[in-house]
A and B are shown apart, each in its own frame.
Chain A
Amino acid sequence: MSYNVLIVDDSRSMRKVISKVLQMLKFELGECLEASNGQEALDILEGKWIDLILADVNMPVMDGVAFIRSLREKNICGDIPVVFVTTEANENRLNQLMDLGASGYIRKPFRPEEMGAFLSRIMGEKDGFRMGTSVEGCDF
Protein backbone atom coordinates (compact mmCIF):
# COMPACT_ATOMS: atom_id res chain seq x y z
CA MET A 1 0.00 0.00 0.00
CA SER A 2 1.34 3.44 -0.84
CA TYR A 3 0.34 6.72 0.77
CA ASN A 4 -0.32 10.07 -0.85
CA VAL A 5 1.32 12.77 1.25
CA LEU A 6 0.69 16.52 1.28
CA ILE A 7 3.54 18.69 2.62
CA VAL A 8 2.45 22.19 3.65
CA ASP A 9 5.28 24.62 4.36
CA ASP A 10 6.14 28.10 3.14
CA SER A 11 9.79 27.05 2.89
CA ARG A 12 10.50 25.34 -0.41
CA SER A 13 13.69 23.95 1.10
CA MET A 14 11.85 22.41 4.02
CA ARG A 15 9.33 20.82 1.66
CA LYS A 16 12.22 19.33 -0.31
CA VAL A 17 13.89 18.08 2.88
CA ILE A 18 10.72 16.41 4.19
CA SER A 19 10.08 14.81 0.81
CA LYS A 20 13.66 13.55 0.71
CA VAL A 21 13.45 12.22 4.27
CA LEU A 22 10.30 10.26 3.38
CA GLN A 23 12.12 8.71 0.42
CA MET A 24 15.19 7.92 2.56
CA LEU A 25 12.98 6.23 5.13
CA LYS A 26 11.51 4.05 2.39
CA PHE A 27 8.11 5.36 3.41
CA GLU A 28 5.57 3.80 1.05
CA LEU A 29 5.14 7.01 -0.86
CA GLY A 30 2.53 7.35 -3.57
CA GLU A 31 2.14 10.94 -4.73
CA CYS A 32 3.94 13.66 -2.79
CA LEU A 33 2.14 16.98 -3.18
CA GLU A 34 3.30 20.35 -1.90
CA ALA A 35 1.58 23.55 -0.77
CA SER A 36 3.16 26.72 0.52
CA ASN A 37 0.35 27.63 2.96
CA GLY A 38 -2.91 26.36 4.41
CA GLN A 39 -5.08 27.88 1.70
CA GLU A 40 -3.11 26.22 -1.10
CA ALA A 41 -3.38 22.94 0.80
CA LEU A 42 -7.18 23.27 1.07
CA ASP A 43 -7.35 23.86 -2.69
CA ILE A 44 -5.34 20.68 -3.32
CA LEU A 45 -7.44 18.67 -0.89
CA GLU A 46 -10.60 19.53 -2.80
CA GLY A 47 -9.46 17.49 -5.76
CA LYS A 48 -7.04 14.89 -4.40
CA TRP A 49 -7.15 11.95 -2.03
CA ILE A 50 -4.45 12.39 0.61
CA ASP A 51 -3.44 9.86 3.28
CA LEU A 52 -1.14 12.01 5.40
CA ILE A 53 -0.65 15.74 5.85
CA LEU A 54 2.65 17.13 7.16
CA ALA A 55 2.24 20.83 7.87
CA ASP A 56 4.15 23.77 9.28
CA VAL A 57 2.49 26.06 11.82
CA ASN A 58 3.92 29.52 11.11
CA MET A 59 3.05 30.33 7.50
CA PRO A 60 1.82 33.44 5.71
CA VAL A 61 -1.67 33.63 4.13
CA MET A 62 -3.12 30.78 6.23
CA ASP A 63 -1.18 29.36 9.19
CA GLY A 64 -1.36 25.86 10.59
CA VAL A 65 -3.98 26.65 13.23
CA ALA A 66 -6.35 28.23 10.70
CA PHE A 67 -5.65 25.36 8.30
CA ILE A 68 -6.58 22.53 10.66
CA ARG A 69 -9.55 24.50 11.98
CA SER A 70 -10.78 24.89 8.42
CA LEU A 71 -10.22 21.19 7.71
CA ARG A 72 -12.30 20.17 10.69
CA GLU A 73 -15.04 22.79 10.23
CA LYS A 74 -15.54 21.88 6.59
CA ASN A 75 -15.13 18.19 7.43
CA ILE A 76 -12.48 17.84 4.74
CA CYS A 77 -10.34 14.73 5.06
CA GLY A 78 -12.26 13.11 7.92
CA ASP A 79 -9.74 11.22 10.01
CA ILE A 80 -6.69 11.74 7.81
CA PRO A 81 -3.68 12.27 10.09
CA VAL A 82 -2.36 15.81 10.24
CA VAL A 83 1.15 16.01 11.71
CA PHE A 84 2.75 19.39 12.33
CA VAL A 85 6.47 19.71 11.64
CA THR A 86 7.33 22.93 13.34
CA THR A 87 9.68 25.18 15.26
CA GLU A 88 6.71 26.28 17.34
CA ALA A 89 7.55 26.17 21.04
CA ASN A 90 4.45 27.77 22.46
CA GLU A 91 2.77 24.97 24.42
CA ASN A 92 -0.60 26.75 24.32
CA ARG A 93 -0.45 26.86 20.53
CA LEU A 94 0.63 23.22 20.30
CA ASN A 95 -2.18 22.20 22.65
CA GLN A 96 -4.58 24.22 20.51
CA LEU A 97 -3.48 22.19 17.47
CA MET A 98 -4.02 18.94 19.35
CA ASP A 99 -7.47 20.11 20.50
CA LEU A 100 -8.32 20.87 16.89
CA GLY A 101 -7.52 17.27 15.96
CA ALA A 102 -3.84 17.21 15.00
CA SER A 103 -2.38 13.69 15.20
CA GLY A 104 0.84 15.01 16.70
CA TYR A 105 3.76 17.30 16.13
CA ILE A 106 7.44 16.96 15.38
CA ARG A 107 9.71 19.78 16.48
CA LYS A 108 12.47 20.98 14.21
CA PRO A 109 15.32 20.18 14.15
CA PHE A 110 14.62 16.46 13.76
CA ARG A 111 16.62 13.43 12.70
CA PRO A 112 15.20 11.41 9.78
CA GLU A 113 15.02 8.16 11.75
CA GLU A 114 13.09 9.91 14.50
CA MET A 115 10.58 11.24 12.02
CA GLY A 116 10.33 7.69 10.62
CA ALA A 117 9.54 6.18 14.01
CA PHE A 118 6.94 8.86 14.65
CA LEU A 119 5.22 8.40 11.29
CA SER A 120 5.26 4.62 11.61
CA ARG A 121 3.31 4.94 14.80
CA ILE A 122 0.88 7.45 13.30
CA MET A 123 0.26 5.45 10.14
CA GLY A 124 0.23 2.18 12.07
CA GLU A 125 -2.50 3.49 14.30
CA LYS A 126 -4.44 4.73 11.30
CA ASP A 127 -4.38 1.27 9.77
CA GLY A 128 -5.41 -0.42 12.99
CA PHE A 129 -1.98 -1.45 14.27
CA ARG A 130 -2.00 0.37 17.56
CA MET A 131 1.44 0.54 19.13
CA GLY A 132 0.25 1.45 22.61
CA THR A 133 2.53 4.49 22.82
CA SER A 134 1.51 8.08 23.09
CA VAL A 135 2.18 9.95 19.88
CA GLU A 136 1.01 13.34 21.01
CA GLY A 137 4.27 15.17 20.67
CA CYS A 138 7.81 14.48 19.80
CA ASP A 139 10.74 16.73 20.68
CA PHE A 140 13.93 15.86 18.90
Chain B
Amino acid sequence: MVLEWEPVLKDVISEILETMFFAMVEFQDCGRGDRCFDYESEIELQNHEGRIAISLQLSEEFARMITAGFLGIEENQVKDEDLQDSMKELVNMIGGGYHARINDAAWKLGIPRVWKIGPDPMHRAQAPVWLDFSFFEEPVGSAVLSYLPS
Protein backbone atom coordinates (compact mmCIF):
# COMPACT_ATOMS: atom_id res chain seq x y z
CA MET B 1 0.00 0.00 0.00
CA VAL B 2 2.68 2.47 1.00
CA LEU B 3 4.97 1.44 -1.89
CA GLU B 4 2.66 3.04 -4.46
CA TRP B 5 2.09 6.27 -2.58
CA GLU B 6 3.54 8.65 -5.20
CA PRO B 7 0.87 8.28 -7.94
CA VAL B 8 -1.91 8.25 -5.36
CA LEU B 9 -0.64 11.41 -3.66
CA LYS B 10 -0.15 13.13 -7.04
CA ASP B 11 -3.73 12.38 -7.96
CA VAL B 12 -5.13 13.49 -4.60
CA ILE B 13 -3.09 16.71 -4.42
CA SER B 14 -3.98 17.69 -8.00
CA GLU B 15 -7.68 17.11 -7.47
CA ILE B 16 -7.84 19.09 -4.24
CA LEU B 17 -5.73 22.01 -5.44
CA GLU B 18 -7.77 22.31 -8.63
CA THR B 19 -11.19 21.88 -7.02
CA MET B 20 -10.94 24.03 -3.91
CA PHE B 21 -7.76 26.09 -4.20
CA PHE B 22 -7.95 26.94 -7.92
CA ALA B 23 -4.33 26.06 -8.67
CA MET B 24 -2.83 23.53 -11.05
CA VAL B 25 0.60 22.16 -10.23
CA GLU B 26 3.03 20.00 -12.17
CA PHE B 27 4.92 17.21 -10.49
CA GLN B 28 8.61 16.57 -11.04
CA ASP B 29 10.50 13.32 -10.72
CA CYS B 30 10.89 12.51 -7.08
CA GLY B 31 13.32 14.80 -5.34
CA ARG B 32 15.34 14.47 -2.20
CA GLY B 33 13.56 17.12 -0.18
CA ASP B 34 16.68 19.27 -0.19
CA ARG B 35 14.80 22.36 -1.35
CA CYS B 36 13.71 24.49 1.55
CA PHE B 37 10.18 25.82 1.73
CA ASP B 38 8.53 28.01 4.35
CA TYR B 39 5.62 26.11 5.88
CA GLU B 40 4.94 22.48 6.62
CA SER B 41 1.65 20.79 7.47
CA GLU B 42 1.17 17.18 8.44
CA ILE B 43 -1.57 14.66 9.11
CA GLU B 44 -1.42 11.08 10.31
CA LEU B 45 -3.45 8.00 9.56
CA GLN B 46 -3.20 5.42 12.28
CA ASN B 47 -4.13 1.78 12.81
CA HIS B 48 -2.94 -0.97 15.16
CA GLU B 49 0.04 -1.76 12.94
CA GLY B 50 1.51 1.69 12.60
CA ARG B 51 1.16 5.26 11.36
CA ILE B 52 1.23 6.90 7.97
CA ALA B 53 2.36 10.52 8.09
CA ILE B 54 1.63 12.77 5.12
CA SER B 55 3.68 15.96 5.11
CA LEU B 56 3.31 18.91 2.81
CA GLN B 57 5.76 21.78 2.45
CA LEU B 58 4.90 24.97 0.59
CA SER B 59 6.61 28.22 -0.23
CA GLU B 60 5.02 31.19 1.51
CA GLU B 61 4.18 32.83 -1.81
CA PHE B 62 2.30 29.79 -3.13
CA ALA B 63 0.61 29.15 0.23
CA ARG B 64 -0.57 32.76 0.25
CA MET B 65 -1.84 32.51 -3.32
CA ILE B 66 -3.85 29.33 -2.79
CA THR B 67 -5.19 30.60 0.54
CA ALA B 68 -6.51 33.67 -1.29
CA GLY B 69 -8.15 31.39 -3.87
CA PHE B 70 -9.60 29.13 -1.19
CA LEU B 71 -11.06 31.99 0.85
CA GLY B 72 -12.05 34.13 -2.12
CA ILE B 73 -10.03 37.14 -0.97
CA GLU B 74 -7.09 39.16 -2.30
CA GLU B 75 -3.60 37.90 -1.52
CA ASN B 76 -2.78 41.05 0.42
CA GLN B 77 -5.76 40.33 2.71
CA VAL B 78 -4.40 36.89 3.69
CA LYS B 79 -3.30 36.86 7.34
CA ASP B 80 -0.73 34.43 8.65
CA GLU B 81 -3.41 32.59 10.63
CA ASP B 82 -5.52 32.21 7.44
CA LEU B 83 -2.51 30.82 5.62
CA GLN B 84 -1.65 28.30 8.32
CA ASP B 85 -5.29 27.29 8.82
CA SER B 86 -5.73 26.76 5.06
CA MET B 87 -2.57 24.65 4.94
CA LYS B 88 -3.99 22.50 7.72
CA GLU B 89 -7.23 22.13 5.79
CA LEU B 90 -5.31 21.26 2.62
CA VAL B 91 -3.34 18.48 4.29
CA ASN B 92 -6.52 17.32 6.02
CA MET B 93 -8.19 16.91 2.62
CA ILE B 94 -5.08 15.20 1.25
CA GLY B 95 -5.13 12.75 4.16
CA GLY B 96 -8.85 12.12 3.63
CA GLY B 97 -8.35 11.66 -0.11
CA TYR B 98 -5.50 9.22 0.43
CA HIS B 99 -7.60 7.33 2.98
CA ALA B 100 -10.50 7.12 0.52
CA ARG B 101 -8.25 5.68 -2.16
CA ILE B 102 -6.64 3.03 0.03
CA ASN B 103 -10.18 2.17 1.13
CA ASP B 104 -9.23 0.49 4.39
CA ALA B 105 -11.55 1.23 7.28
CA ALA B 106 -8.94 0.23 9.84
CA TRP B 107 -7.02 3.49 9.33
CA LYS B 108 -8.17 6.48 11.38
CA LEU B 109 -7.48 10.02 10.25
CA GLY B 110 -5.89 12.30 12.82
CA ILE B 111 -5.97 16.06 13.39
CA PRO B 112 -3.72 18.13 11.08
CA ARG B 113 -0.82 20.28 12.31
CA VAL B 114 1.07 23.14 10.71
CA TRP B 115 4.26 24.99 11.50
CA LYS B 116 6.66 27.46 9.99
CA ILE B 117 9.87 25.74 8.93
CA GLY B 118 12.77 27.06 10.92
CA PRO B 119 16.49 26.87 10.19
CA ASP B 120 16.71 23.83 12.45
CA PRO B 121 16.23 20.73 10.24
CA MET B 122 14.53 18.98 13.17
CA HIS B 123 11.48 21.06 12.28
CA ARG B 124 11.21 19.34 8.90
CA ALA B 125 9.99 15.81 8.20
CA GLN B 126 12.91 13.57 7.28
CA ALA B 127 12.36 11.26 4.32
CA PRO B 128 14.52 9.84 1.52
CA VAL B 129 12.18 10.72 -1.35
CA TRP B 130 9.93 13.73 -1.78
CA LEU B 131 7.32 14.51 -4.38
CA ASP B 132 8.24 17.96 -5.70
CA PHE B 133 5.78 20.13 -7.59
CA SER B 134 5.85 23.45 -9.36
CA PHE B 135 3.46 26.19 -10.41
CA PHE B 136 4.25 27.66 -13.83
CA GLU B 137 7.70 26.07 -13.66
CA GLU B 138 8.45 27.67 -10.30
CA PRO B 139 9.11 25.10 -7.54
CA VAL B 140 6.45 25.77 -4.91
CA GLY B 141 6.15 22.69 -2.76
CA SER B 142 6.90 19.14 -1.86
CA ALA B 143 4.99 16.25 -0.32
CA VAL B 144 6.00 13.03 1.33
CA LEU B 145 4.39 9.99 2.84
CA SER B 146 6.19 8.11 5.60
CA TYR B 147 5.17 4.79 7.12
CA LEU B 148 6.10 4.24 10.74
CA PRO B 149 5.40 0.75 12.07
CA SER B 150 4.29 0.44 15.72
**A and B held together in a complex:** yes
Binding site for B on A (CB under 8 A): 10-14, 16-17, 20, 58, 60, 86-93, 107-111, 140
Closest approach, in angstroms, between the C-beta of A36 and any C-beta of chain B?
11
Closest approach, in angstroms, between the C-beta of A25 and any C-beta of chain B?
13
Residues of the B chain whose Cβ atoms lie less than 8 Å from the Cβ of A89: 96-97, 99-100, 103, 109
Residues of the B chain whose Cβ atoms lie less than 8 Å from the Cβ of A17: 20, 70-72
Assuming the contacts A87-B96, A87-B97, A110-B19, asked whether A11 and B105 have C-beta atoms less than 8 A apart, the reply is no
Contact partner of A87 (CB less than 8 A), chosen from B19, B82, B95, is B95
Q: Which of B1-9, B23-31, B84-92, B132-140 contacts A (4 or more CB under 8 A)?
A: B84-92
**Alpha-carbon separation in the docked complex, A109 to B94 (Å):** 9
Q: Which of A14, A17, A111 has the most CB of B within 10 A?
A: A14
**Can you list 18 A-B contacts with CB-CB less than 8 angstroms, sorted by A residue number?**
A11-B88, A11-B92, A13-B70, A13-B89, A16-B71, A58-B109, A88-B109, A89-B97, A89-B99, A90-B109, A107-B100, A108-B92, A108-B93, A109-B15, A109-B93, A109-B97, A110-B19, A140-B19
**Alpha-carbon separation in the docked complex, A108 to B110 (Å):** 16
Would you call B67 an interface residue if the criterion is a C-beta within 8 Å of the partner chain's C-beta atoms?
Answer: yes
Would you call B127 an interface residue if the criterion is a C-beta within 8 Å of the partner chain's C-beta atoms?
Answer: no
Would you call B16 an interface residue if the criterion is a C-beta within 8 Å of the partner chain's C-beta atoms?
Answer: yes
**Total A-B residue contacts, Cβ distance less than 8 Å:** 69
B95-122: CB near A (< 8 Å → 1, else 0) gives 1110110010101111100000000000
Residues of the A chain whose Cβ atoms lie less than 8 Å from the Cβ of B111: 10, 58, 60
Additional pairs, 10, CB under 8 Å, beyond known A16-B71, A89-B100, A110-B19:
A13-B70, A13-B71, A86-B96, A89-B99, A89-B109, A90-B105, A90-B108, A108-B96, A109-B15, A109-B16
Q: Which of A11, A13, A107, A140 has the most CB of B within 10 A?
A: A13
- Contact between chains at B92 and A13 (CB < 8 Å): no
**Alpha-carbon separation in the docked complex, A63 to B2 (Å):** 28
**Alpha-carbon separation in the docked complex, A14 to B112 (Å):** 13
Would you call B81 an interface residue if the criterion is a C-beta within 8 Å of the partner chain's C-beta atoms?
Answer: yes
Residues of the A chain whose Cβ atoms lie less than 8 Å from the Cβ of B107: 90
Assuming the contacts A13-B86, A58-B111, A86-B96, asked whether A92 and B81 have C-beta atoms less than 8 A apart, the reply is no
- Contact between chains at B105 and A92 (CB < 8 Å): yes
- Contact between chains at A111 and B105 (CB < 8 Å): no
